[in-house]
C-alpha cells in the first residue's frame, strides 16, 4: 500500500514551540491553526515516549493539607482563674487584718486547709502518671504530648524559675521580721507557726525569707489548668474539680500565713505563662458523642 504524504496547507502552521519536550521526554510535532487551536493536545497524550508506546501524564499529587492550628482558649483560662482571684481578693479585703483570730476560731478549717495545701498537688501528680501510662498503652499522641509538656514546664517554671526568684528577692514571709539571711539554707529567723509543718511533707530545708513567688500556687495551677483546658469539652466536671482544688490550695497559702497576696499573684502569673506553652497548638480532647449519635450507631 502506497504511503500518503502530508502536504501542509496555509490553514496550519508549525508552532514555534513544537519541539519542546513533553513530560515523557520526547519532542512533539504539533500544528496549530490561525486561531491558536491545536490538532494535538500535548498534556493529554504523548506518542513515542522513552518506554515506547503511549502514556498519559501522571496526575499531580494534591498538596498536603496545612497543619491545623488551635487558638489558645483564653476565655476558659480566665474563667478558671476567676475563683482563684476572687479568693485572693476576699482574703485581702475581709480576712487579712484579723487572720490570726479567724485561724484560732475556725480550727477545723485550718486543719482542712493544711491538709489540702500539703497533699493537693500530689493527687494531680498521680493523675498525670496514670495518664502517661494510658497514653503509651493506647498510643494517644495528643495526650502523651500533654503529659510530657506538663512535666517539662513543671520542672522549668515550677522548680527552677520559682526558686531562682525566691533566692533573688529574698522576700520575708508573713510574721517574719529582719533582713534576709546571707545563706538561705541556715535561716537566722524562726519560721512562722505552721510553716515547718507543711514543709515536713517534703523534708526540704526552706528559708522564711523565700516568700515571693508562691511555689505552691505555681505548682497547683500548672497541674490543674492544663488538665481542665484539655478536657473542657469532653469531661466538664474535670474542669470544675480542677478549679475548685486550685482555689482551695491558693487560698490555704494565705489562710495559713505562709504567703502574702503579692506572692500568690506572682505564682498566678508564672503559672499562666507556663500553661500557655503547654496548651499552645495542642487542642482540646474530642467531645463525647451525643445520645443520638450513639443510638444511630454513628459514634
Residues 6+ apart with CB under 8 A from 101: none
Question: d(Cα 83, Cα 105) in Å, to the nearest integer?
Answer: 25
Question: d(Cα 108, Cα 230) in Å, to the nearest integer?
Answer: 34
**pLDDT tens series, the chain, 299 aa:** 556 655 555 544 444 444 445 555 555 544 444 544 444 444 444 444 445 444 445 555 666 666 667 789 999 999 999 999 999 999 999 998 889 899 889 999 999 999 999 999 999 999 999 999 999 999 999 999 999 999 999 999 999 999 999 989 888 988 887 656 554 444 444 444 444 444 444 334 457 888 999 999 999 999 999 999 999 888 889 999 999 999 999 999 999 999 999 999 999 999 999 999 999 988 777 665 554 444 444 44
For the stretch 63-80, pLDDT in tens is 666 666 778 999 999 999
Amino acid at each position: 500500500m502506497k504511503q500518503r504524504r502530508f502536504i501542509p496547507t496555509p490553514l496550519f502552521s508549525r508552532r514555534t514551540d513544537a519541539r519542546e519536550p513533553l513530560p515523557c521526554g520526547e519532542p512533539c510535532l504539533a500544528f496549530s491553526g490561525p486561531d491558536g487551536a491545536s490538532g494535538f493536545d500535548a498534556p493529554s497524550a504523548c506518542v513515542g515516549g522513552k518506554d515506547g508506546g503511549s502514556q498519559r501524564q501522571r496526575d499531580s499529587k494534591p498538596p498536603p493539607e496545612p497543619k491545623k492550628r488551635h487558638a489558645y482558649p483564653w476565655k476558659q483560662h480566665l474563667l478558671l482563674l476567676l475563683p482563684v482571684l476572687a479568693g485572693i481578693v476576699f482574703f485581702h479585703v475581709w480576712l487579712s487584718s484579723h487572720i490570726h483570730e479567724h485561724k484560732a476560731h475556725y480550727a477545723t478549717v485550718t486543719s482542712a486547709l493544711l491538709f489540702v495545701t500539703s497533699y493537693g498537688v500530689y493527687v494531680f501528680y498521680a493523675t498525670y502518671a496514670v495518664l502517661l501510662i494510658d497514653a503509651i498503652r493506647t498510643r494517644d499522641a495528643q495526650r502523651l504530648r500533654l503529659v510530657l509538656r506538663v512535666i517539662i514546664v513543671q520542672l522549668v517554671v515550677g522548680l527552677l524559675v520559682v526558686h531562682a526568684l525566691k533566692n533573688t528577692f529574698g522576700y520575708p514571709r508573713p510574721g517574719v521580721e529582719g533582713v534576709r539571711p546571707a545563706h538561705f539554707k541556715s535561716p537566722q529567723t524562726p519560721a512562722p507557726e505552721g510553716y515547718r509543718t507543711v514543709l515536713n511533707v517534703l523534708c526540704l530545708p526552706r528559708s522564711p525569707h523565700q516568700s515571693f513567688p508562691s511555689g505552691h500556687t505555681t505548682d497547683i495551677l500548672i497541674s490543674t489548668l492544663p488538665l481542665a483546658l484539655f478536657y473542657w469539652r469532653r469531661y466538664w466536671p474535670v474542669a470544675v474539680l480542677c478549679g475548685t482544688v486550685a482555689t482551695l490550695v491558693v487560698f490555704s497559702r494565705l489562710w495559713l500565713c505562709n504567703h502574702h497576696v503579692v506572692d500568690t499573684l506572682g505564682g498566678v502569673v508564672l503559672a499562666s505563662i507556663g500553661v500557655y506553652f503547654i496548651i499552645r497548638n495542642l487542642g482540646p480532647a474530642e467531645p463525647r458523642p451525643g445520645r443520638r449519635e450513639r443510638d444511630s450507631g454513628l459514634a
